[in-house]
Structure 1
Amino acid sequence: MRTHKVTFATLAVVAGLSLTACQNDDDAAARTDPSNVATASPSSEAPASGGSDSGGTDSASPEASSGGKDDSAGTGTDDQGTAAKCRTDGLKITAIDNFIDGDRDGTVAVEMKNTGGQDCVIAGFAGVDLKTNAGTLSAERKGAPGDPYVLKTGKTIAFSVTYPLNETGGSGVRITGLVVTPPNETKPVTLPWPGKPSLPVTDGSGEPVRVGPIGSAGQGG
């Protein structure tokens, strides 16, 4: 699926809003926080611009972080020949505010629990879009995808979403929702946004919103 990149500069001029997005790679480290959990069921809503059915097709790399991964949840190599790909309808997806005072960026951890009744394989990047009062903003990829991972039934795996903090003193760009599309899927879910309420309006030189690979969680650095 095509992806589009939008800068915060375009968000500052809503009337002339033109969204494009791309996804960049970089490593993400693990951290979890049980507070402030947002949950949603799979939606039949059409995928937002960051939702991608190609997120799990990137070449595997041993450099990917394993943060946020339950060691008992599955493996990166075993049973792939018999397990099907994880599908949106078989995942319970939740979002948790994972920000710690003093961090340079805000962080949200997105968790996916296998509720499909059988093991499934997941890898790569989920599609992530932020709904805002100025339009939809697609997250860029950060990090290298890990090996395909067998997610055991009833187990959970997570990834991180990092975003710049609004420290301008103004209202900024208000975030109204989080749209997540699992790798190799086209069906998204829409979640309440659990993080800070807004992004800064900048001239385009600020930090983008980033999504880490499956198996990462916490601060993106």
Structure 2
Amino acid sequence: MWDYFSFSKGLSEKLFSREIRFQEFNDEWKLQSLGDIGEVFNGLSGKTKDNFGTGKPYIQYKQIFDSSKVHIKNCGFVEISENENQNRVMYGDVFFTISSETPKEIGMSSVLLEEVSEMYLNSFCFAYRPSSSQVINPLFSSYLFRSFNFRKEIIKLAQGSTRYNMSKGELMKLTIILPSLEEQKDIAQLLFSIDSKIEVEKTILNKYQFQKQYLLQNLFI
């Protein structure tokens, strides 16, 4: 079976390093500081374990660590009082983990790609909100912040010995190189289509494995 995952990873690296480009684009990519095109904010504060289990949806640490795109169906729930001052998340926000057991796992990112009415973020992560979706396309950012080159820079921010942490201030000093919004959209859509194909192949493979297991279990009955 064609190894779509390796193909997707290799293609992503070549696209973000500009080794390959779409023929219709020839504009120079622009160097931008994260601090110049967005701002950061914290997750939930002042909560105890008794506040969790019911209430409003919030994005959990594992959701961010596991996927570059937030899957809303996996959200937890937290009690939020009517006049409570907590930061709400919104479409296009990028979430980063700020603590990990190894430097290579620091600053894993995930992007919210759906419109939500009221949703929050766990206290062990922070959010980065671009100043406009006209500066950086949300789907593009889900690939950019997990790209090989950006991950190399993130890992350098890890501080600690037994447990590693990352500073929001240091993250905001990092720079990224952005193509035009139209080129961002084309890159994101290409990578998304390959990811979708990977998910279809995984589903088909799982069905074949289940069928094989069933046949083997019933072969000698």
Structure 1 and Structure 2 fold alike (TM over 0.5): no
- If asked which structure has higher relative contact order (CA below 8 Å, sep 6+), I would say 1
TM-score (norm 2): 0.25
| Higher helix content, 1 or 2 | 2
| Higher strand content, 1 or 2 | 1
